[in-house]
Amino acid sequence: MKQKTTAIAGSRIILTGASEGIGRALALDLAGRGARLTLAARDAERLELLARDCRTRGGEAVAIPTDVANEVDCGWLIEKSLQSLGGIDVLVHNAGITM
């Protein structure tokens, strides 16, 4: 396990596009550094598995299925993040679309 970096440890981070690729890798790295994560993506099952993996690496993680193209979903994401983490320090908007 990586040593917890003081600047990251305890940081409350929302990470969109978290269920695969760069988002997943970033979530696992941040969890290993002690971050408190809200994981957002459309695939609820993948998010739950990732949240579990993040917790085993020492981070705190909550999975919030979210479609960032949907304004209501984004509002719900912010609300649940504030409730779960008590605030938000960083937003990593990694979600994207393929055209």
| Each residue's pLDDT tens digit, 43-78 | 999 999 999 999 999 999 999 999 999 999 999 999
- pTM for this prediction: 0.90
Per-residue pLDDT of 4-45, as tens digits, reads: 556 899 999 999 999 999 999 999 999 999 999 999 999 999
Query: Shortest CA distance to 29 belongs to which of 12, 4, 11?
Result: 4
Please report the domains of the chain, with CATH numbers, ordered by start residue: 12-93 (3.40.50.720)
